[in-house]
Amino acid sequence: MAGPSRSYRCGVLTLSDKGSRGEREDTSGPLLQEMLRAEGYEIAVALIIPDQQSLIEQTLVQWVDEQRLDLIVTTGGTGVSPSDRTPEATRAVIETEIPGLAEAMRQASLQKTVQAVWSRGIAGIRKGCLILNLPGSKKAAGENLAAVLPALQHGIYKLKGGDADCGQVG
């Protein structure tokens, strides 16, 4: 546990045109919520919206600036299909990119499939909130989150101004 025990508020944002129209069941969003809850995170909001860059940007900004979330994980829109705009939307609203998280997720995925080379997800910070882009498939989203989940508590703790030395917290 990183520093003083604390439950961080998070949001899970699923990006899917078909899912937002009720034509496809969202399986990755519920899995991510379950994984985060198991680690002590509070799921403050979960939503499915279409793969539209401006809508993604608006949602991320609202969740950070108005709802004051500590962590947002997105699922979907990280590939190379013409509608996949999640990394661009995220990059437009963050202040600082954290490439190590995205690299770790891709590295873990590459252990499972060569197709991970097509993932374009990023990670970054906006006003003290960490935003992570995960793939849209349930399997890949779960594997990606599992790859970085052990590091998130400490990173968010430091992001919130925690002053314990890195070697003293897990």
Look up the pTM and report it: 0.93
pLDDT score at 4? 44
pLDDT score at 170? 46
Residues 6+ apart with CB under 8 A from 148: 101, 104, 105, 132
pLDDT at 13 over 50: yes
Identify the band that residue 124 occupies on the pLDDT scale cut at 50, 70 and 90: very high
By the 8 A CB rule, do 96 and 106 touch?
Answer: no
Q: Which CATH architecture has domain 9-160?
A: 3-Layer(aba) Sandwich (3.40)
At 67-115, the pLDDT tens digits run 999 999 999 999 999 999 999 999 999 999 999 999 999 999 999 999 9
pLDDT at 47 over 90: yes
